[in-house]
Structure 1
Amino acid sequence: MTDLTIPTRRPRVLDLYCHRGGMAMGYHQAGFDVTGVDIDPDCGTEYPFEFVHGDAIEYLLAHGHEYDLIHGSPPCQAWSPLNAYNHKVYPELIGPTREAMLAVGKPFVIENVEAARPEMVDPIMLCGPMFDLRMYRHRLMETSFPLVAPEHPAHVELCSRNGYLPTPERPFMTITGGKHSKAWQRAAAAAMGTPWITTIQGVCEAIPPAYARWIGEQFLARVPVPAP
C-alpha cells in the first residue's frame, strides 16, 4: 500500500538580537526549531539553541528566506527611560530591522519596550500577569499577522523594590539592572522562567519565555507552515 502521508517538520524561527534566549525558549516550547543571532559572542555561552555570532540584519537578508517566522528584539536602550540619565547614543534599529524583514517577505514579530511605541506599527502589549507571572513587565509586539493580546489583569499586587527579594506583602519582583546579589539573580531568573541565565544583566534584559510561547502558538494556529 502506498503511504500518502504528507511529511511534516517542525517550523523554524529566526531569533534576531537573541541575547541569552528568553524569547527563544518560548518559541521552542510552542513547537519551533530556533536559531539565534547576536553581535555579542558572550550570548552564545548561555543561548540554549543554535547560535550564530554576527550582525542580525546581515544574517536576516542572507538567510531569512530559510525560516517560517522571524523574530527581532532590536536593542531598546535608545528608547529606555534610563537613557534620560545616561545621555548616550545608541543604535536605533527598529526601522532598519522592519525594512529587512519586509524585504525578505516572511512573517515577523518585532519586540521592544513601551517607550518605543512611536517607532512601532500597531503593536500589542504583553505583561507578566497575563501569563500568571509574578512581575509587571510591559513589552510591545509588532506583528505582520493578526494578534490580539490576552486580557490584561489590573496591577493590584505590590512589587518588591529593585534588588530585593519578594515577600508575602510584596509578592511581585521588580527586575531591572543594578548591583544585585546572586540570590536576587536566581530568584529573578526563576520568576522570569529563564533559569539557565546566570548573569544579572542577562536576566534583566530577557523577555519571559511565556510571551513567545503564546505568540508562537497563535502564529501556528493562524499561519500554516509548508511541508518540506
Structure 2
Amino acid sequence: MESTSGIERNSSPPKERATFRHPDTWVSESGLGKMFHEFRQTFDFPSEFLGTDFTKLIEDSPKGMLVRKIKGWLRTADALKIYELAYFTDGAILELGTYQGLATSVIATAVRNSGRQREFTSVDHNPAWSMAANANLVQAGLIDCVELRVAEAVSFIDYAIATERQYGFIFVDHSHAYKDMIAACIRLDRITAHGGFVLFHDFNDSRNRRDNFAKAGVFQAVQESVDLQHFEFYGTYGCCGLYRRR
C-alpha cells in the first residue's frame, strides 16, 4: 500500500485494477452536510476511459445535482461514483431502493457500457415506484440491463443470504431512518463479496441527527453497525459514504 497526501493506493493482483482509498475525506458527525467532497477515483483509470456517458453526468448537473427526466436526487459526485463502481466492480450488483430509477439508470448504463454480462437487481418496497422505474428504464432503453423486484430491503437481503448470493457492488438508498438502516447494515457482510464495495447514499447529510432518527440516521447507523473487521472505510463523495469488504 502506498500513501500520498491523504490517498492510499492499494496494489492488486496483475489482472485487477489498483484502487485508491481516500481516508482524508472522512466527515465527523458534527460536520455532516457542511462540506461535500468532489468525485475522486476509486479505480485506477485514464480520465477519458469511461467515455461520453460518464462525462454527460457532469454536463447534466448544472448546479451540482443530476438533472434527468427521471425523478430522483443525486449530487454530481454521487452519480459519478455510482457509475464508476458499477463499471469496474466484479460480480453481481444490488441496489436497495429503486424509487423511480434515477440511480438505477446510471448503474444500468455503466453495466451496459462495461461490455461484461452482469446480474443487476434493484429492489424497492413500493410497487408504484417500481412500476414508474420500469417505465422510465424502458423509455431509456435500459430495462434489459436490470431486474426490478418489489420487496422490503431486509427481506430481500435475507433471501440473498438464504440463497448464498454475493454482490460486488451494493448501493444502499432504501431508507434514511436509523432503525431501517441498522437492520440492513448488520446483514451486509453476509452478501458482500470479499473486495466488493457498499455505497451508502445520504451518509453525509445534515438530517442525520440523533433527535431525528425516525427520519434520518444513515451516518450513525453505518458507524454503529458496519463491522470494521469486515469492512474498511474508502471515502466520501458528494453525500455518499463508501466502504469495502475486506
TM-score, with length taken from structure 2? 0.39
Larger strand proportion, structure 1 or 2? 2
Say which one has the larger Rg. 1
TM-score, with length taken from structure 1? 0.42
